[in-house]
Amino acid sequence: MKDQQKTVVLREYNTATEANIVKSMLEANGVSCFLSNENSVFTPGFFSASSTVLLHVMEEDFEKASSLIDQIPEAFTDEES
């Protein structure tokens, strides 16, 4: 029987754009990942758990993916006020 691999949520993002940028960076570095809630309805001024985009990775890639994300310059991920 083939071993089943488990996925875990690595990060949550407020926008699909930001989540897709991080997803692309992880994939370029050999980390398999996917997004959920990417097409959820977003109502400006209203925040709920269902409006966040979730970035999933394989459990075994969690540390590598976290390390890669931590290397992203803070200025890149901060939204302008």
The answer, yes or no, to whether residue 79 has pLDDT greater than 50, is no
The answer, yes or no, to whether residue 62 has pLDDT greater than 90, is yes
Residues 49 and 65: their CA atoms lie apart, in Å, by 22
State residue 72's pLDDT score.
80
Mean pLDDT of 26-38: 94
Please report whether residue 78 resides in a domain: no
Residues 46 and 24: their CA atoms lie apart, in Å, by 28
**Domain interval for residue 18:** 7-73
What's the pTM?
0.73
Please report whether residue 27 resides in a domain: yes
Please report whether residue 80 resides in a domain: no
Please report whether residue 28 resides in a domain: yes
Give the distance, in angstroms, between the CA of residue 42 and the centroid of all CA atoms in the same chain.
Answer: 17
Mean pLDDT of 40-53: 63
pLDDT band at 48 (very low <50, low <70, confident <90, very high): low
Mean pLDDT of 36-60: 75
Overall domain count for the chain: 1
Higher pLDDT, 38 or 50: 38
User: Which CATH number do you get for residue 36?
Assistant: 3.30.70.1530
Beta carbons of 29 and 81 less than 8 angstroms apart: no
CB-hemisphere CA count at 13 Å for 31? 26
Q: What is the DSSP letter of 29?
A: T
Residues β-bridged to residue 58 = 7
